[in-house]
């Protein structure tokens, strides 16, 4: 069955980079998937009053923000259309118009109709990443703001024997099936890890005809998320697969250590699943 990828195009206050569009088109080509890009245009209600008008022109600021968001959305959508056409990737376009405070909820809901969501980790995008990760029910691939080739031949899986790790590995099955090599990475000095499950999973992958191995590393006090990324980068992995840990408390996300590190800084594409 054909896969369907979803790429939100953020427009305000920061915009999705052109790198991200190129990454999305390249991945869709590799997966032989459709790509839907969705321009997120923000709307800002006019809340100006006589007092605010004496200090700043709030109404003009709102109009300018809406105009900038629309302009960026149109430009990014056209860029995606051009790149997809050049790569012969099936592209669909959408747009969402939503008040700025409700962008995160709107994207979490919109993501539920697709197999995979792509997002770019930038300073102001973290609330959106968290909302999609924990609220969409779909896996997402998080990219650094840099160009990456679309081929994913070597996959690293962060493995601690947990339900979240198993869920993430399953959600990455489309990549595991096409990979030429898979490595299970386990940090052995951060918390108790059941190694037997890693060995059993490697055995199953080998039976499926995929080259797979288990690698165990020590954090030695360093953040686990950084250790996993560093080892995956050292092994020349094209993708790191991780389970996302977190829960909502008074609308604040309490994140596991590895997830927190990943949502702060990444060095390679990371598939996150919750």
Q: Is 6 helix (H, G, I), strand (E, B) or coil?
A: strand
Rounded Cα distance, 16 and 37, in Å: 11
Per-residue burial over 60-96, b = 16 or more CB atoms within 10 Å of its CB, e = otherwise? eebeebbebbbebbeebbebbeebbeeeebebeeeeb
Which pLDDT belongs to residue 47?
Answer: 63
Please check whether residue 244 is in contact with residue 133, taking contact to mean a CB–CB distance below 8 angstroms.
yes
Backbone angles phi, psi at 186, to 5 degrees: -125, 130
CA-nearest of 56, 156, 43, 154 to 103 is 43
Residue 56's pLDDT is: 65
What is the structure's pLDDT at 249? Answer: 38
Neighbours of 13 (CB within 10 A): 12
What does the pLDDT read at residue 245? Answer: 61
pTM above 0.85, yes or no: yes
In this predicted structure, what is the pLDDT of residue 247? Answer: 43
Q: What integer pLDDT is reported at residue 70 of this predicted model? A: 94
- Domains detected in the chain: 4-143 (3.40.50.620), 154-273 (3.40.50.620)
Please list the ranges in the chain whose pLDDT falls under 50: 246-255
pLDDT for the residue 124: 61
């Amino acid at each position: 069955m054909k896969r369907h990828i979803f790429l939100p195009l953020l427009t305000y206050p920061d915009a999705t980079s052109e790198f991200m569009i190129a990454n999305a088109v390249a991945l869709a080509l590799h997966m032989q998937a459709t790509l839907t890009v969705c321009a997120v245009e923000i709307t800002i209600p006019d809340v100006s009053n006589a007092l605010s008008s004496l200090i700043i022109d709030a109404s003009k600021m709102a109009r300018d923000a809406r105009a900038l968001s629309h302009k960026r959305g149109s430009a990014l959508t056209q860029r995606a259309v051009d790149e997809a056409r050049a790569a012969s990737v099936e592209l669909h376009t959408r747009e969402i118009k939503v008040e700025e405070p409700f962008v995160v909820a709107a994207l979490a809901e919109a993501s539920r109709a697709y197999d995979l969501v792509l997002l770019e980790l930038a300073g102001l995008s973290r609330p959106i990443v968290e909302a999609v990760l924990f609220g969409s029910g779909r896996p997402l691939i998080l990219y650094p703001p840099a160009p990456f080739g679309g081929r994913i031949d070597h996959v690293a899986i962060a493995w601690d024997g947990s339900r979240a790790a198993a869920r993430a590995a399953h959600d990455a099955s489309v990549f595991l099936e096409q990979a030429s090599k898979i490595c299970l990475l386990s940090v052995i000095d951060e918390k108790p890890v059941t190694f037997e499950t890693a060995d059993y999973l490697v055995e199953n992958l080998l039976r499926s005809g995929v080259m797979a191995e288990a690698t165990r590393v020590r954090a030695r006090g360093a953040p686990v998320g950084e250790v996993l990324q560093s080892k995956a980068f050292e092994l020349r992995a094209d993708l790191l697969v991780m389970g996302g840990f977190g829960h909502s408390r008074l609308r604040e996300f309490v994140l596991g250590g590895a997830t927190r590190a990943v949502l702060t800084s990444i060095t390679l594409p990371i598939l996150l699943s919750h």
